[in-house]
Amino acid sequence: MSDVLVLDDHEPNLVLYAKVLSKIAGVTTQCFTEPKAALSWAETKIPVLAVLDQQMPELSGLEFVQRLHAIPGRESVPFFMVTASDDRELRREAMNRGAIGYLTKPVDPVEFLALARNVLTADRRRRDAVKRADEHGVRTRGIEKELAIRDAALLDALFAAMRARDPRLAEHGERVAELTQRLAKRLGVAPAERALLATAVRVHDVGKLSYPDRIANGATRIDGADVALVREHVAHGRAILGESESTLLRTALIVATTHHERWDGNGYPGGLRGEAIPLNGRIVAVADAFVAMTSVRPWRAAMSPGHALATIEGARNAAYDPRVVTALRESLSEGS
């Protein structure tokens, strides 16, 4: 039910207006002979329309509407005047203050009813539109959430495939993702971006799913003709992740295709140089190298963190972005 506030200090007028308003379905008329009583009612209820007499002992109709509109949430309650005064100045003032109509007594019930009905119809349409917009917003947010879940599930599936193919490949992905997080935080990467990296970096080597069995399990040192094969994992990564509009998949694609670029431009596949390489790719390049060096391989022991850091620092400005190398050193010395 919608409340219509009606204020007139003469009760017979209220009876007449209430009778007219009763012809509109879904409307309850709240009648008041005293402005103060009407204001205290409006402290707890929001009328859809206010119908006001002008000349009353306590407050005029226009003074009343000023106070009504001053109550939070009642700023835009529409109102019209019904008054015995046909004063032109008063009529103009009322309309300038936002009145949607100015009826004079004797009231024409048909005109009164039409005016009230028009206001209520407009108000209902406005509320319906707001409701539809809200529902649309909720649906859109729901779809966005659903899409984000699906993107993450897709990367989870790829990661599970990597683990099934070679547990060490998955373990490496996890460790690189973890170190990337720490470096990215030190380099001031925004939290939302870091959240994407946490999922995306795990699959930076997804292209290695294309390795032949002979080198897949990492049991042998790669050399000779296989070096070219290894380089191809970047292209395979690009093919697997594809061109997507998804922010998460795009992040994964950028990392998968740029983490073998070098600061000096001698990397692959693009030979990009310096800041032409996306920052996420430069960070993963350092994290990838450090994790690889400090991992045991069947043909060699793991390097100590200090030794690995020294090796990477030796290639600062050559292979690696110096800022990222600094972040690695700070991270290792501070243990975070």
Partner 1 sequence: MPDKEILDLTRLQEAFEDDVTGIADLLDMALETGKKHRRAMEQGLASGDATAVARAAHGIKGSAGNIGANVVYRLAAELDERARTGSLDGARERADAIDAAYARVAEEVRAYRASVS
Q: Which residues bind partner 1 (CB under 8 A)?
A: 8-13, 15-16, 19-20, 53, 55, 83-85, 105-110
CB 33 → partner 1: shortest distance, Å? 11
CB 32 → partner 1: shortest distance, Å? 16
- 55 vs 266, beta carbon nearer partner 1: 55
User: What does DSSP assign to residue 301?
Assistant: P
**SS3 assignment, position 52:** strand
Give ∠ CA 140-146-152 in degrees, rounded to 5.
140
Q: What's the rounded Cα separation, in Å, for the pair 62 and 154?
A: 63
- 83 vs 180, beta carbon nearer partner 1: 83
Q: How many residues does the chain have?
A: 336
CB 67 → partner 1: shortest distance, Å? 22
Give the 3-state secondary structure of 125-192: HHHHHHHHHHHHHHHHHHHHHHHHHHHHHHHHHHHHHHHHHCHHHHHHHHHHHHHHHHHHHHCCCCHH
- 21 vs 209, beta carbon nearer partner 1: 21
**SS3 assignment, position 310:** helix
Angular region, 98: left φ>0, alpha ψ -120 to 50, beta rest = left
The residue among 248, 258, 249, 266 whose CA lies nearest residue 287 is 258
- 53 vs 205, beta carbon nearer partner 1: 53
- 13 vs 257, beta carbon nearer partner 1: 13
The tokens describing 3, both together, are 């409340």
CA distances from 317 to 23, 48, 286 (A): 83, 69, 12
The tokens describing 193, both together, are 């971006």
The residue among 228, 196, 192 whose CA lies nearest residue 212 is 228
The tokens describing 294, both together, are 């400090």
Q: What's the rounded Cα separation, in Å, for the pair 208 and 227?
A: 13
Each residue of 24-61: b (16+ CB within 10 Å) or e?
beebebbbbbebeebbeebeeeebbbbbbbbebeebbb
CB 46 → partner 1: shortest distance, Å? 27
- 61 vs 173, beta carbon nearer partner 1: 61
- 14 vs 293, beta carbon nearer partner 1: 14
CB 55 → partner 1: shortest distance, Å? 6
- 28 vs 85, beta carbon nearer partner 1: 85
- H or E stretch covering 32: strand 27-32
CB 98 → partner 1: shortest distance, Å? 23
CB 28 → partner 1: shortest distance, Å? 18
CB 12 → partner 1: shortest distance, Å? 4
- 109 vs 274, beta carbon nearer partner 1: 109
CB 60 → partner 1: shortest distance, Å? 12
